[in-house]
Amino acid sequence: MDASSLTDWLIWLPIGTAIVLWIVPFSRYWTGGLALLVSLLEVALWIEQAARFDFGTSGLQFETKAEWFKDLHVSYHIGFYGFSLWLAGLAVIVMAACIAYGFWVGRDRARAYFGSMLFLTGATVAVFAAQDLLFFYAAFEAMLIPLYVLIGVWGGPNRSHATLKFVIYTMAGSLFMLAAVIVLGLQQGTFDLVDGGTSTSRWIFLGFAVAFAVKSPLFGFHGWLPDAYREAPPEVTAALSGVIVKAGTYGFLRIAITKLPEPTAYFRTTLLAFGLASLIYGSLLAFRVRDVRGVIAYSSFAQSGLIVLGLFAGTDLAYDGAVLQMIAHGFVSAGLFLVAGAVERRTTTGDFALLGGMAKGRPALATVFMTLGILTLAVPGSANFAGEFLILAGLFQRHWAWAAAGATGIVLAAMYTLRLISAVLHEARGSTVADEALDLRPAELGVIVPLVACLLGLSIWPALVSHRSFARDRPTQTIGAQFK
Amino acid sequence: MIPAGAWICLLAPLAGTLAITLCGTRISRVTAAWISTASVAVAFVGAIVAFAGLLGETPHKRSHLSTAWTWLEAGTFKAGLSVLVDPLSVFMMLIVSGVGMLIVLYSVGYMDGDDEERRYFAYMSFFVFSMLLLVQGGNLLILLAGWGLVGLSSYLLIGFWHERPVAVAAAKKAFIMNALGDATMALAFFVLILHGRSLDFGIAFATSSHLSSTAVNLVALGLLGGAVAKSAQIPLHTWLPDAMEGPTPVSALIHAATMVTAGVYLIARTHPIFEQARTIGLVAAGTGALTLLVAGLVALVQTDIKRVIAYSTMSQIGYMFLGAGLGAYANGEFHLMTHAFFKALLFMAAGLVIHALAGEQDIRNMQGIGRLMPRTRWAFLIGSLALVGLPPFAGFFSKDSIIAAAMGAHWYGWIFWVCALVGTFLTGLYTFRLYFIVFPGEPSPFVREHYDAHHGKEGPWTMTVPVGILAVLAVIGGWIQFAPLWTPVTTWLAPVARTLDIAEPTSWEEGISSALAVALGLAGVAVAWMLYAKRERAVPVVPTLQRALEHKFYFDELYDALFYRPSAAIAEWSRRGFEEPVVLAAGPELGDETQLVGRGVRRLQTGLIRTYVLALAGGLAVLAVVFLSVR
């Protein structure tokens, strides 16, 4: 297969399959099987791509470019840089796990469900591959449509409320972004991200920033998050927190910071303050909420704050750390939400008051849950620690006070994660935990263990991502040169 | 050869953990226990190989850095996954894997029959791996990784019996207090990265010599924060007594012999930084002096056998901090070694008693157990004598050098010296209070009733043999150094951490300190004998002091009021006062508002496509105008 068409395949294979699934009336079994097969094929395609990728050279790789609206200089332009390749890898692996989970659980209305999941996969990869502003916008919006459906149809009892909030928040953010996209494109005379230059408009920056702040989410823009994370089916929440929200932080890096360097510098302190507020506020809430998904949701929110801190620190270490943290957190939160789903299936609840003592007699569940929890709290030696360490070290170079304040996150993460672990696994058996509630089944292990394995692999060698995200040794220079 | 030994030493216990975890229930509990023991034994062999290799070299060449691959790289910062083999790390490797091997062997008997024996042994091997990573780490980042992982294994093992809420709470407390230390250490590292771009030992130490005095003091303070948390020194000490909720061999291995002494290792390892920041070095010494007194006092009133020994551990680590902080690194490390022997011995002998009494830990119920367990009694007596530091037992050789080292250090040295000597009196008193209450005399009815005589002996061989070996080491382990006449340990460590001149006592100082320390230790024993064995005098009762001691000087209450409650209150306020009413507006008590919002939003949903398009287009137009006009 031609190298550059790999990217096309990575985007259009799942979307094409999704359309086929929607149209052709396969049986439930075949639908799920086909979706799983395609999602695994995606992983294989991505591995092929990563193996061929030259991390040493700067510039776009696996590039495809075709004219779209010629007079507006809009084109179908896709390709990967180091950091976007890692995010695409995160997307295909996590989505494969989520689709496998959905298959195992046996979601009803299978064609609609698996079609949506595959469409979501393709759209997400498209976001990370897009090198044209309008195509980026289209892909960014295309991610949302299947999500609305997935939360609204297969979600929990309060799903319509959650979906409504999610729609309002994300649509509002998108509107600002659309305006910013149009103005930036017209201003530059091209919508191409690679060809176009930089802009100094603070308003354009704010337009993008609002959209990405909703998506990431950042403090004040996170109102959609707790409900959506609680009400969506567990595998959709896993996809959402593991992959989809990374589109927000990715957008900050690829567009806001790269294309708008002057406004980035101007608003740096503001964004750092938002990041810090998210980190601390999210951690504090994660320490107080009383349900499994709530803790993971607020912890993800806090981690988004940490990633934004890394991106807007604007130093070499922090950029590398932010990319590493996006990947590591993507895996860990996806894994945790899937385990949370497994717990809920056994007990029908995520309420701490009704849970407890699940470790007894369930060694696989206890081991997986404990391992993911320990990675979440970023125990030194883990990939998540490496990311956090680099972000804070880079932040320290910006100003020591940011890093000192951010370091409280280390202690807070330990507090809320250990609380989560003991509430589910330890102490007296909860009233909803039946003796006959099973340990993790082999199928569940088959879904979750690969995610854990990715994390352990990254913990053994975090430099794989941290040093292969930006072509040059100095990410600041790479970004300053707009990745050219 | 030398790096190979070191890597085998490091990786064997990890392989043991993986084997036990992955095999799960396919192997029997006993097999898991022996896999763990064997893995640590292999580590010990690896350490001996590395040691033998170093012995064959000239002293100044005894340093080998072996890097497997670049662990973390970002920007121009680079840190390898590397192990360092030098006299200091080999010294620690031998202690960790050697004592570790004996304690894991002891666990084979102690944990026999526990439901989750496999998990226990997987954790134990993982701890030994983490501790070896800490002491072998070839740069500060790998050291920090080991530092965090020992904290993790400590958490897992304290909370091993996770159905007991107290054990879970103690585990969390230990982890969180150590996370605080991790954070201060990380901040110290950030300063070094900012100024030197590297965490390799050599470069980091060179960097520290160019830093401003404020900066280097902060670096040292950050490191000290980590050391104080890990080694349970005041003010981050309150987790250690609670950690006694873990199985007794865990207390022996992690909370006496190895992990809690990591702070001393850290100071010795990073001594060039502490020498740049002399003030902080003295703060470390002062912390040690304070802790050895406070812990010695609190130990006087504890009634749980393991807690008495835990406070004694804090107190002894106080001595090590005193030595290392003053610059007598070799003396601190030497005391670390002998302490590992006699303290592990005490814990394991106590474990035999607890085991025989079906889990009883209150010393008031143990009276007269010595009659039934004569060999355990002897082992405990040897450990106690070594702890008090009477010749010819191990503690005498190591502790007295630290006390003597304080004499040379200006006027404040005398304060430390007096503290250390008072500490020896307290040590004699609390140690033999414990011994006289538990062992001599007629067995109490409780003991007779609960003593498990089915075995016909004091424990299975897997338990008694390690205790026997440690008893021998607690006697002869100190003989390898008798300062100032015979100093192989100091000489061995000199290439890495040479004792500062100021902390080098003269023979006269050594002599007078030893004589006083032995005399005061004996005085403590004598008082204990009068109060608790002969009962010639009533135990003095000073209600206020007693209450303060029983509440451990109110540290727990203080931290609860100062940190936990305010932060929990802020978090709770964030949730109830802001998140729910403002951000979510969806709590059950806010149903009305939710409905109002819903009603409002519903009005927007006219269902008419043209309204939506109009709204979208209108909004877009407004924004476009705004953006274009103000750019």
B81 CB neighbours in chain A (<8 A) are 460
Interface probe for B, chosen from A163, A184, A198, A422 (most Cβ of B below 10 Å), is A422
What pLDDT is stored for residue B564 in this prediction? 81
Determine, for residues B186 and A392 on separate chains, whether the beta-carbon distance falls below 8 Å. Answer: yes
- Is position B626 within any domain? yes
Give the structural domain span for B576.
Answer: 556-630
The answer to whether position B454 is within a domain reads yes
Strand-pairing partners, residue A64, are A78
When CB atoms are compared, the residue of B71, B171, B620 closest to A178 is B620
**Same structural domain, B473 and B560:** no
**β A74-80/A61-69 pair status:** antiparallel
Q: Which two structure tokens, joined as six digits, stand for B197? A: 């771009």
Please list every residue in chain B whose beta carbon sits closer than 8 Å to the beta carbon of residue A186: 628
Task: Give yes or no for B571 touching A (CB within 8 A).
Answer: yes
Out of A374, A410, A461, closest to residue B183 by CB: A410
Among the residue ranges A103-112, B77-86, B402-411, the one predicted with the least confidence is B402-411
Residue-level pLDDT at B590: 39
In a domain, B308, yes or no: yes
Q: Cis omega before residue B235 (within 30°)?
A: yes
Q: State pLDDT tens for residues B169-184.
A: 999 999 999 999 999 9
Same domain assignment for residues B346 and B470? yes
Shortest alpha-carbon distance between residue B431 and chain A (Å): 34
Taking a C-beta distance cutoff of 8 angstroms, is the pair B8, B51 a contact? Answer: no
- Residue A401: closest C-alpha in chain B: B187
Tell me, yes or no, if B75 comes closer than 8 A to chain A by beta carbon.
yes
Average pLDDT along chain B: 88
**Residue A140 to residues A42, A132, A163, A188: CA-CA distances in angstroms?**
20, 12, 17, 21
ipTM: 0.93
Residue B73 exposed, middle or buried by CB count within 10 Å (0-12, 13-18, 19+): buried
Give the chain B residue nearest A374 (alpha carbons).
Answer: B152
**Residue A326 CB contacts under 8 Å (≥ 6 apart), including other chains:** A86, A87, A90, A246, A249, A250, A307, A387
B459 and B314 housed in the same domain: yes
Whole-model pTM?
0.91
- Chain B contact set for A390 (CB, 8 A): 72, 74, 77
- Of B456, B477, B498, which one is at a domain's C-terminal end? B477
Backbone angles phi, psi at A78, to 5 degrees: -130, 165
Kindly write down the DSSP assignment for every residue of B450-485, as one continuous string.
H--GGGSSSS-HHHHHHHHHHHHHHHHGGGG-BTTT
Q: Is B522 exposed, middle or buried (0-12, 13-18, 19+ CB in 10 A)?
A: middle
CA terminus-to-terminus distance, chain A: 26
Closest to A365 (Cα-Cα) out of A289, A284, A439, A461: A439
Query: In this structure, what are the phi and psi dihedrals at residue B16, rounded to the nearest 5 degrees?
Result: -60, -45
Q: Is residue B560 assigned to a domain? A: yes
**Does residue B437 lie within any of the structural domains?**
yes
Is pLDDT at B587 greater than 50 in this prediction? no
CB B585, CB A227: distance < 8 Å: no
Contact A320 B162 (CB under 8 A): no
Q: Do B584 and A404 touch (CB under 8 A)?
A: no
Asked if residue B464 and residue B563 are part of one domain, the reply reads: no
With beta carbons under 8 A apart, name residues in chain A contacting B620: 175, 178-179
DSSP A201-265: -HHHHHHHHHHHHHHTT-TTS-TTHHHHHHHS-HHHHHHIIIIITHHHHHHIIIIIIHH-HHHHH
Number of domain units in chain B: 2
d(CA B60, nearest CA chain A) in Å: 31
Residues B470 and B353 reside in one and the same domain: yes
Indicate yes or no: CB of B76 within 8 angstroms of CB of A289: no
Q: Is B544 on the interface with A (CB under 8 A)?
A: no
Instruction: Please indicate, yes or no, whether residues B350 and B459 belong to a single structural domain of this protein.
Output: yes
For residue B297, the SS3 value is helix
**Token pair of B629 as six digits:** 């006009």
Regarding whether B567 and B472 lie in a shared domain, the answer is: no
B42 assigned to some structural domain = no
- The SS3 of residue A28 is helix
Q: 3-state DSSP: chain B helix, strand, coil percent, rounded to 5? A: 80, 5, 15
Do B335 and B454 belong to one domain? yes
The first and second tokens of residue B383, run together, are 């450990």
**Could you give the C-alpha distances from B53 to B4, B94, B307, in angstroms and in order?**
10, 13, 40
- Crossing angle for the helix pair A363-376 and A442-460, nearest 10 degrees? 30
The per-residue pLDDT for range B443-481, each reduced to its tens digit, is 888 888 877 665 557 778 888 899 999 999 999 988 888
Q: Exposed, middle or buried: residue B493 (CB in 10 Å: 0-12, 13-18, 19+)?
A: buried
- Binding-face residues of B in 153-192 toward A, CB within 8 A: 155-156, 159, 162-165, 168, 171-172, 175-176, 179-180, 182-183, 186-187, 189-191
Q: What gap in Å lies between CA B321 and CA B291, rounded to an integer?
A: 9
Which among A168, A183, A466 has the least Cβ separation from residue B72? A466
Q: Which residues in chain B are closer than 8 Å to A287, comparing Cβ atoms?
A: 568, 571
Of B162, B567, B620, Cβ closest to residue A179: B620
Q: Does B470 reside within a domain?
A: yes
Same domain flag for B302 and B438: yes
Taking the CA of residue A201 and the nearest CA in chain B, the distance in Å comes to: 5
- The gap from C-alpha B597 to its chain's centroid, in whole angstroms, comes to 55
CA distance B134 to chain A (A): 11
Best A187, A259, A288 member to test B by mutation, with max B CBs in 10 Å, is A288
Residue B620 resides in a domain: yes
Question: B623 and A207 in contact by Cβ < 8 A?
Answer: yes
Domain limit, last residue, from B477, B494, B523: B477
Mutate to test the interface with B, among A418, A464, A479 (most CBs of B within 10 A): A418
Please tell me whether residues B427 and B309 are part of one structural domain.
yes
Same domain, yes or no: B314 and B455: yes
**Alpha carbons B297 and B311: distance in angstroms, whole number:** 9
Give yes or no for residue B631 having a pLDDT over 60.
Answer: no
Separation between Cα atoms, residue A88 and residue A125, nearest integer Å: 5
Report whether B513 contacts B261 (CB < 8 A): no
Last residue in a domain, options B455, B477, B499: B477
Does position B586 have pLDDT exceeding 60, yes or no?
no
User: What tokens appear for A182 in the block?
Assistant: 């149009």
Mutation to test the A interface, candidates B77, B123, B230, most A Cβ within 10 Å: B77
Whether residue A467 and residue B631 make contact (CB cut-off 8 A), yes or no, is no
Question: What's the CA gap between B330 and A117, in Å, rounded?
Answer: 63
Q: Up-side HSE of residue B531: CA atoms within 13 Å toward CB?
A: 19
Whether residues A392 and B24 touch (CB distance < 8 A) is answered with no
Provide the pLDDT confidence category of residue B591 given band limits of 50, 70 and 90.
very low
Residues of chain B with C-beta less than 8 angstroms from the C-beta of A311: none
* CB pair distance less than 8 Å for B74 and A390: yes
Select the residue of A425, A427, A461 nearest B71 (Cβ to Cβ). Answer: A461
Q: Which of B146, B571, B630 has its CB closest to that of A288?
A: B571
Which residues of A are less than 8 Å from B164 in CB distance? 427
- CA of B150 to nearest chain A CA: how many angstroms apart? 10
B471 plus B565 within the same structural domain:
no
Of the candidates A161, A203, A426, the beta carbon closest to that of B631 is on A203
pLDDT at A72: 84
- Burial class for A104, CB neighbours closer than 10 Å (0-12, 13-18, 19+): middle
pLDDT tens series, chain A, 484 aa: 566 788 999 999 999 999 999 999 988 889 999 999 999 999 999 999 999 998 888 888 999 999 888 888 899 999 999 999 999 999 999 999 999 999 999 888 999 999 999 999 999 999 999 999 999 999 999 999 999 999 999 988 888 888 888 888 888 899 999 999 999 999 888 899 998 888 999 999 999 999 999 999 999 899 899 989 999 999 999 999 999 999 999 999 999 999 999 999 999 999 999 999 999 999 999 998 999 999 999 999 999 999 999 999 999 999 999 999 999 999 999 999 999 999 999 998 888 888 888 888 898 999 999 999 999 999 999 999 999 999 999 999 999 999 999 999 989 999 999 999 999 999 888 888 888 888 889 899 999 999 999 999 999 999 999 999 888 778 888 888 888 8
| Nearest CA among A244, A432, A236, A261 for reference residue A351 | A432
